[in-house]
Structure 1
Amino acid sequence: MMLGRLVSGGVRGVEREITCTVRLLDDSEYTCTVQSDAKGQWLFEQTCHHLSLLEKDYFGIRYVDPDKQRHWLEFTKPITKQMKSQPPFTMCLRVKFYPPDPAALKEEITRYLVFLQIKRDLYHGRLLCRSSDAAMLAAYILQAEIGDYDPGKHPEGYCSKFQFFPKHSERLERRIAEIHKTELVGQTPETSEMNFLRKARTLETYGVDPHPCKDVSGNAAFLAFTPLGFVVLQGNRRVHFLKWNEVTKMKFEGKTFYIYANQPDDQKIVLTYFAPTPEACKHLWKCGVENQAFYQFEKSSQVRTVSSSNLFFKGSRFRYSGRVAKEVMEQSAKIRREPPEIHRAGMVPSRSCPSITHGPRQSSVPQTRRRAVHISIMEGLESLQDSGHSTPVRSVSHGDSFLGSHGNGAEGKASAEISEEIYSPSDSMLPTPVSSNYSLDKSLGRSTKGSSFQEERDANSQDRRRTTGPRVRATHRGKFQQSPGSLEVERVGEVLGSLVRLFLVTLALLFVLLLLLIALTESELDVAFLRDIRRTPEFQQFHFEYFCPLRHWLACKLRWMGGHLVNK
């Protein structure tokens, strides 16, 4: 019997352990076993220890639930209570808060990891730039990962074997090779990565993690939080930019996201957007709250718990945990240790043919396993679950930028490339200009089957309506873009639900007040709190003028009802 207990106890002990795999920025994987009640902080600390990372506050662990919704792992909550899937769990280590000045980071290992993240952003189409900047960034990547140009190792057209962007032209490849051969000779990997970070920081889309939404008119938009503030991208134009000290409040109600701000001219504004799902809206709100706390406050003790809504709507409460940017910089200055060894992964071409028109290029970003859900507009982008951030910013331009083109008919994917035309800053508030007659819905491109984001379905339906006429218009409608009538009906339902919740809260408060009143008047509890209240003149006046007559009236009524029932 004792042996049976030991065996059963051992089985229970094994069942309490779960396996977690964290995919790192260089696409390697770190796997560890954690207890079922372990919190997210424990897994994050183990991952940072594996990487010898001390400046860890810029990073976070991201995972995707079975509904394809992304989440940042909360460090103060148990892992198993956050994950909706069954173990083993797979997550990704990504940059959560982009350093305002990545070149000012204390340790080389931190700069290298941020370098890998920004390189991913460039490859996934989140970091938009002109072709001149793109050529320089790509040349820095080449120098950092393959070293100086060597005619014996790097034949003519060697740049065509690598893919730094979703798609680019032969002319841009020649410019990348020219910079690599002549301007960067002798630069060490550390120097090239530092120069890359300094260049990327100057771009207006540095640190942008776009969240797809719709505005009140049903137009597609992307909301993002950067080290400088909150931005709204629409039609590839930055239609709103709010500094963090101008943002006064963020909240969400269902799928509706609100952001309140005070402009420099003392003008108060409220921006309203609609997320695809309530879960996406909640994720958007959490990201906004955390980014504002990290970049705006001077001390973590100044951060307060925030509520997502008000009394009329069921909401969520969230408290930022961890240090803020200024505290992180102060703590980094105190680091005193021998720099850890960095194992850089060089780019190895996967094919020998130098042609740039046929076959896949070797990406400078390590390849990860593909999924059925493709949210990219660009050929070769990874799927939603593989990427470290939300939907890439779709980019279309007639200038020096990413240029959206028609999708590949064989694979059904859209593509984009760096254009060589003249860049005109007046075309756009972003480094990437957009033609005035090109809409964002058109630039969204086509996606493969299984995409969970409705804005891509809207783009598909618009393309079909232009080609097949009224018959397709009646059968292919995106569900995400709601009509004003349906939005009003949904809003009325939310208001009615809020009124019901208000009524229930009021009843609960009245019940609590009634219990407190009985405890004050009828009980003999000799508690200091109750005793002090009983001694106040206001309570004594209420007790003798109102409560005692009311109690006498109720007692008479109860006696009369009791006698009436007995007589019957």
Structure 2
Amino acid sequence: MFKSRGDIVYKCTVRLLEDTEILECEFHPSYKGKFLLEHVCQQLNLTETDYFGLRYVDAGGQRHWLHMAKLILKQVKDASPILFSFRVKFYPPNPLLLKEDVTRFQIYLQLKRDLLHGRLYCTSNEAAMLGALIIQIELGDYDPNIHVGNYVTEMRLLLRQTDTIEARIQELHREPVEGTPGGSGGVKGMSTQEAERQFVKIACQLDTYGVDPHPVKDHRGNQLYLGINHSGILTFQGSRKTHHFKWSEVQKINFEGRMFIVHLNYPEKKHTVGFKCPNGPACRHVWCCAIEQMLFFTLPSSSDACVYSGGGLFSWGTKFKYVGRTEREILERDGLLAPRDSQKEGSSTGGKRKASSVPATPSTPMTGDFGYSSLPRSTHSAPLEESGGDDTCNGACLLSGPAVDIALACTDHLRTVQEEAKPPALGTEYSARDSFEHSSSESGATLATLAPAPDWGGALAPAPRPFSLLRAFVPSFVLAWLGLALLALLLFETDWAPLQTLKRKPELLALRRHYYAPLKDYLKRKLVELF
């Protein structure tokens, strides 16, 4: 007896932020991505679900975010087994404003994971403090009877965990909190909640907070890494952050084949910068990530937010529809922002909001005890001096060295469940080194300025795509020649009775003898030589 489509149940595995924790889930063919995410969040008692997502890898090794409005099965049809990873998708500019403790804890777990896998750049002093806070959260106050020897070595905290850093972490774990009797800037005496709060506060002020780096190349072929977060689009070369394109400066984002293109609108003039991705699917993934981040952190409303981009000469491009609430809608719902005057805005937009009409700045308000700046921090943007020894990190030493670990950060480091591609084998020393072999030796790489961008009339307006004469002509030309070829085969290679009279006409006989037959013989000879 055959089952109907509605009776079929598919099983999948969802790996949580702790690698040792997984969920086994089931879904029907008619279920969309939103169902699975809501199910996972329900199991974790998460109500602030908008910041999270599920990631998977297709058969070609390309990572994707599970689209909430599309069928699950259609997105992972080639995957066996079906594996997802629960991750923070939109890192809030100020995680301390989140309402629920469980949400902040998941943000902490994600940042802890980013630190371990080298995605969170920081100085050696910041790395030691972050490591000490993790020890305080997981082991509690230092106890000389329990915490003996080099107990930090047994815990995996950092990607490059040297003896020097471990010694500093233990020292901070032993020292009392500043402001207490005998306090000297350590973490002893902090509660678990205080330590988590301090960890998140330090991490979210780093340049690479919320950045999942994508490998690209500039117009000179130099290896760069592109990062996208709530503040805009960042580029890294070697150990430096070279450029920061804020959302307020970005007019439009699109892609053509392997080229990811950013149109910038400065007060004095407009620029277009391009980055070459490893392949077409990777370029489309970068574009989707950039569009989602921009819309989430800049649009006041997600209604009718739809974006188009071209994909190349022989493709019709890509349509991307944003699904879910924006950050401003979340903050308004939680009472952290005053609601907008919907009637006033409705009259100015004619009932349909366009992405080009929104202020391209993060809408999260800042509180007194927390400061966020989108400007580069000098300790992270300055080039590093060559380190003379393996453990001689100073205050300017990055946690994971130069671009070597940015490359590692492009993929998640897997242990128990093989969800993503394993990163390349890299060095193991915690020290500042020369940049990646493909990186430029120049002190400041300039990105490819392709041409002055025309006035596109808005960054991401949900209007129909403009008509392209070239894209309309090429498919029509190809289809016309295919039609003529099929007609010639029908006339000269078949014995269909209705065509017999037509085939005996002098014009067609001459056409067959002088053109069709020689071309047919030529193609036959070439095929014989080829095979």
TM-score range, shorter chain: 0.5 to 0.7
TM-score normalised by L of structure 1: 0.60
Q: Which residue of 2 aligns with 1:276?
A: 278
Q: Secondary structure at the match of 2:160?
A: coil
Matches within 5 A, 1:250-399: 250-263=253-266, 265-301=267-303, 304-309=305-310, 314-333=316-335, 377=408, 382-383=413-414
1:228-271 superposed Cα distances (whole Å, 9 cap, x missing partner): 111111223222211112111111111111110112x3321111
Q: How far 1:418 sits from its partner (Å)?
A: 3.7
Contact 1:112/1:193 (8 A) holds in 2: yes
Q: What amino acid sits opposite 1:111 in the alignment?
A: R
Q: How far 1:205 sits from its partner (Å)?
A: 1.1
Contact 2:263/2:271 (8 A) holds in 1: yes
Contact 2:412/2:420 (8 A) holds in 1: no
Q: How far 1:163 sits from its partner (Å)?
A: 2.2
Q: Which residue of 2 aligns with 1:236?
A: 239
For 2:232 and 2:246, how far apart are their aligned partners in 1?
Answer: 4
Q: Secondary structure at the match of 2:50?
A: coil
Q: Which residue of 2 aligns with 1:526?
A: none
For 1:272 and 1:150, how far apart are their aligned partners in 2?
Answer: 55
For 2:66 and 2:416, how far apart are their aligned partners in 1?
Answer: 15
Q: Secondary structure at the match of 2:145?
A: coil
1:382-431 superposed Cα distances (whole Å, 9 cap, x missing partner): 24996999998xxxxxxxxxxxxxxxxxxx93224444xxxxxxxxxxxx
Q: Secondary structure at the match of 1:19?
A: strand
RMSD of Structure 2 on Structure 1 (CA) = 3.3
Contact 1:20/1:33 (8 A) holds in 2: yes
Q: Secondary structure at the match of 1:441?
A: coil
Runs of 4+ aligned residues of structure 1 deviating over 3 Å after TM superposition are: 11-15, 310-313, 374-378, 383-392, 416-419, 498-501, 504-508
Contact 1:16/1:35 (8 A) holds in 2: yes
For 1:248 and 1:298, how far apart are their aligned partners in 2?
Answer: 17
1:525-549 superposed Cα distances (whole Å, 9 cap, x missing partner): xxxxxxxxxxxxxxxxxxxxxxxxx
Q: Give the one of 14, 18, 42 matched to 1:49.
A: 42
Higher RCO (C-alpha 8 Å, min separation 6): 2
Moved more, 65-74 or 11-20: 11-20
For 1:257 and 1:443, how far apart are their aligned partners in 2?
Answer: 19
1:441-491 superposed Cα distances (whole Å, 9 cap, x missing partner): 2689xxxxxxxxxxxxxxxxxxxxxxxxxxxxxxxxxxxxxxxxxxxxxxx
For 1:217 and 1:384, how far apart are their aligned partners in 2?
Answer: 36
Q: Give the one of 25, 30, 37 matched to 2:17.
A: 25
TM-score normalised by L of structure 2: 0.65
For 1:311 and 1:282, how far apart are their aligned partners in 2?
Answer: 11
CA change 1:163–1:443 in 2 (3 A) is farther
Contact 2:257/2:311 (8 A) holds in 1: no
For 1:225 and 1:387, how far apart are their aligned partners in 2?
Answer: 25
Please identify the structure whose Cα radius of gyration is greater: 1
Matches within 5 A, 1:112-511: 112-182=105-175, 183-263=186-266, 265-301=267-303, 304-309=305-310, 314-333=316-335, 377=408, 382-383=413-414, 413-419=425-431, 438-441=434-437, 501-503=471-473
Contact 2:137/2:196 (8 A) holds in 1: yes
1:107-134 superposed Cα distances (whole Å, 9 cap, x missing partner): 1100110101011111111101111101
For 1:391 and 1:260, how far apart are their aligned partners in 2?
Answer: 33
Moved more, 32-41 or 284-293: 32-41
CA change 1:231–1:67 in 2 (3 A) is same
Q: How far 1:66 sits from its partner (Å)?
A: 1.5
1:170-203 superposed Cα distances (whole Å, 9 cap, x missing partner): 1221111111111222322221111100010111
Q: What amino acid sits opposite 2:437 in the alignment?
A: D
Q: How many percent identity over aligned positions?
A: 39
Q: Secondary structure at the match of 1:231?
A: strand
For 1:439 and 1:202, how far apart are their aligned partners in 2?
Answer: 24
Q: Secondary structure at the match of 1:163?
A: coil
Contact 2:255/2:311 (8 A) holds in 1: no
For 2:142 and 2:70, how far apart are their aligned partners in 1?
Answer: 50
- Structure 1 unaligned spans of 5+: 1-7, 335-356, 358-373, 393-411, 420-433, 445-497, 509-568
Q: How far 1:169 sits from its partner (Å)?
A: 2.3
Q: What amino acid sits opposite 2:320 in the alignment?
A: F
Q: Secondary structure at the match of 1:440?
A: coil
Q: What amino acid sits opposite 2:219 in the alignment?
A: V
Q: What amino acid sits opposite 2:283 in the alignment?
A: C
Contact 1:18/1:88 (8 A) holds in 2: no
Q: How many residues align?
A: 374
1:256-292 superposed Cα distances (whole Å, 9 cap, x missing partner): 11110112x3321111111111000000000000000
CA change 1:268–1:198 in 2 (3 A) is same
For 2:415 and 2:240, how far apart are their aligned partners in 1?
Answer: 23
